[in-house]
């Protein structure tokens, strides 16, 4: 689901997010403008009709830095879900920063879903999400509508939300458990405790035994001590 959500986000930026049209009573399109997050307003009407140019909506101009941020977050989130899956991780030590990237992407998606219409559409009299107005005085029909790009973005949110929440809660839970007093003390003991090298000690003892067996002075001293002990008994 998360990967499908990322795909929807990716393709949403290449589709129209909003459209504005004026039609006559015969449903002929007189004015048509479509908005894309990256490319701003464009018109499918090839010939320059004065009415079409006159009704061109105001520029929305979503800050390019936000668009850049969501592209970077999208790339990193794809890498995380493919290569840094929290379910297969042996340790969550290196996943803390990654969970914030997923959360940041979710925040940006929510930004486009909520802030985009509230700050950039409605203040410019671009009605959201859908409005159909018939003007009886001019016999014109005004049609305002969100585009397929916005719908793709809307679909992506419930697709990426569960895994983002799961990733965040899992890493946070393991981080809390690793900082409990018992685990802190255990980690300190493990770091400060010197591991006994039994093989080394066994080798040292064997070497001492061989050295004593091969040292003639030890044998002479043993015999001498035995002799002195016998004289003392006499």
- Both 205 and 183 in one domain: the answer is no
- Both 173 and 100 in one domain: the answer is yes
- Both 113 and 211 in one domain: the answer is no
Least-confidence region, from 139-143, 164-168, 173-177: 173-177
Q: Residue 80: which residues within 8 A CB-CB, separation 6 or more?
A: 98, 101, 102, 167
Least-confidence region, from 70-79, 94-103, 160-169: 94-103
CA 100, CA 183: separation in Å to the nearest integer?
Answer: 25
Q: Name the 3-class secondary structure at 3.
A: helix
- Both 31 and 137 in one domain: the answer is yes
Task: Answer whether 145's CB lies under 8 Å from 34's CB.
Answer: no
Residue 18 main-chain phi, psi, to 5 deg: -155, 150
pTM above 0.85, yes or no: no
Ramachandran category for residue 80: left, alpha or beta (phi over 0 → left; psi -120 to 50 → alpha):
alpha
**101: Cα within 13 Å, side-chain hemisphere:** 17
Q: Which two tokens stand for residue 103?
A: 């959360």
Asked if the model's pLDDT at residue 193 lies above 80, the reply is no
The CATH number of whichever domain residue 87 belongs to comes to 1.20.140
Query: The dihedral of CA 162, 112, 153, 14: what is its sign?
Result: negative
pLDDT in tens, 107-130: 999 989 998 898 888 888 888 888
Residue 107 main-chain phi, psi, to 5 deg: -65, -40
pLDDT band at 227 (very low <50, low <70, confident <90, very high): very low
What's the average model confidence in pLDDT over 168-189? 62
- Both 224 and 168 in one domain: the answer is no
Asked whether residue 192 is assigned to any structural domain, the reply reads no
- Both 107 and 22 in one domain: the answer is yes
R_g of the chain, CA atoms, integer Å = 38
Give the number of domains in the chain. 2
- Both 175 and 208 in one domain: the answer is no
- Both 54 and 140 in one domain: the answer is yes
Asked whether residue 137 is assigned to any structural domain, the reply reads yes
Least-confidence region, from 22-31, 81-90, 95-104: 81-90
Asked if the model's pLDDT at residue 155 lies above 90, the reply is yes
Task: Answer whether 124's CB lies under 8 Å from 57's CB.
Answer: yes
pLDDT in tens, 128-143: 888 988 888 888 899 9
Asked whether residue 194 is assigned to any structural domain, the reply reads no
- Both 74 and 129 in one domain: the answer is yes
Query: The dihedral of CA 83, 86, 88, 90: what is its sign?
Result: positive
- Both 28 and 68 in one domain: the answer is yes
Residue scoring higher pLDDT (23 or 87): 23
CA 153, CA 156: separation in Å to the nearest integer?
Answer: 5
CA 145, CA 119: separation in Å to the nearest integer?
Answer: 16
Task: Answer whether 77's CB lies under 8 Å from 4's CB.
Answer: no
Q: Which domain holds residue 123?
A: 2-187
């Amino acid at each position: 689901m998360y990967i499908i959500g990322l795909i929807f986000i990716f393709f949403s930026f290449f589709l129209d997010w909003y459209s504005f049209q004026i039609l006559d009573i015969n449903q002929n399109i007189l004015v048509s403008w479509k908005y894309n997050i990256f490319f701003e307003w464009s018109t499918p009407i090839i010939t320059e009709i004065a009415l079409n140019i006159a009704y061109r909506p105001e520029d929305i101009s979503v800050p390019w830095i936000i668009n850049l941020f969501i592209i970077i977050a999208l790339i990193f989130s794809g890498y995380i879900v493919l290569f840094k899956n929290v379910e297969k991780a042996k340790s969550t030590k290196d996943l803390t920063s990654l969970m914030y990237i997923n959360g940041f992407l979710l925040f940006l998606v929510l930004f486009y879903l909520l802030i985009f219409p509230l700050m950039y559409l409605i203040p410019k009299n671009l009605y959201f999400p859908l409005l159909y107005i018939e003007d009886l005085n001019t016999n014109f029909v005004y049609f305002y509508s969100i585009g397929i790009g916005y719908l793709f973005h809307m679909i992506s949110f419930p697709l990426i939300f569960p895994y983002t929440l799961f990733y965040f809660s899992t890493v946070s839970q393991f981080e809390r458990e690793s900082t409990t007093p018992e685990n802190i003390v255990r980690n300190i003991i493990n770091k400060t405790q010197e591991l006994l090298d039994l093989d080394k000690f066994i080798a040292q003892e064997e070497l001492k035994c061989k050295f004593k067996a091969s040292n003639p002075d030890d044998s002479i001293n043993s015999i001498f001590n035995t002799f002195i002990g016998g004289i003392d008994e006499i």
